[in-house]
Amino acid sequence: MLVVGGLNVNGDNVATTEAVDVIFNLSCEEGPDFPYPVRFAVGGLVSTQTATDIPIVCGGSVGVDDERVSASSRRNFSCTCVDCYTYDGSSWVSVPSMSTPREQHTATSFPDGTMLVTGGQDDTQEVWSKQIII
């Protein structure tokens, strides 16, 4: 399982990436930082023409997590971002964004290398639309 982002003890979004083995030995290995602090992002594996599937993370809530901004003034925004983990696991690469900002949505991968993103919410309301990405 690939765990991306979340909140730290101060309630700030974080940009960490960790690979967790939940099947065999519950080990955890730190990966490269995600391009931006995020929470409520959704991901999945997208099939490729090689033997390796690519982890994709889309949407989520990003915001101002600068210690110079008071906690009460920090605001998060739903985003349209889509990022792929590189084959060698050394970095994240941005790909074309979604048309609708969303967080707390679902993502379903298909064998043809596409991903269906549905539902969730944006900054003010529920999102009922769907979109094929990648």
Residue 119 pLDDT: 92
Report domain extents, the chain.
Answer: 37-133
Check whether 118 has a pLDDT greater than 60.
Answer: yes
Tell me how far apart the 2 most distant CA atoms of the chain are, in Å: 47
Percent of the chain with pLDDT over 90: 10
Rounded to an integer, the average pLDDT of 59-70 is 62
Instruction: Kindly report the pTM of this predicted structure.
Output: 0.75
Q: Write the burial class of residue 111 (CB in 10 Å: 0-12 exposed, 13-18 middle, 19+ buried).
A: exposed
pLDDT in tens, 76-107: 778 888 888 887 778 888 888 999 998 888 88
Beta bridge partner(s), residue 94: 83
